[in-house]
Amino acid sequence: PEALLGDKGYDSDPNRRELRKRRILPVISRRGAPDIEGLGKLRYVVEQTFALLHQFKRLAVRWERRTELHDAFVSLACCLICWRRLKKHNS
């Protein structure tokens, strides 16, 4: 990724150094500083995505030992979410 969004819980110099070493821009609020404007809107999208995926109980708790099976179920869940939204939008 080009950037990583994080809240004040991830504010530490070692975290920032590791991200910069990997050429990833850290967008992390500093402790004691005002919040970064708009960061909550971007994080909401990520949290909403996890909530949508956790509707599928098989993804809320990972049962598959093989990564490719888990990835297939995630892809299937994403397809179902998109299909349902398109179906709802076209109705």
Sequence letter at residue 15: N
Q: Which of 41, 43, 54, 47 is nearest to 81 (CA)?
A: 54
d(CA 21, CA 41): 27
Query: Which helix H or strand E contains 5, and what residues bound it?
Result: strand 3-6
- Find the DSSP H helices in the chain: 13-21, 39-53, 57-60, 67-90
For the segment 17-67, what is each residue's pLDDT rounded down to a tens digit?
Answer: 999 999 999 888 777 766 666 666 666 777 888 888 888 888 877 777 888
What predicted TM-score, i.e. pTM, was given to this entire model?
A: 0.54
Predicted confidence band at 72 (pLDDT cuts at 50, 70, 90)? very high
Backbone angles phi, psi at 31, to 5 degrees: -65, 135
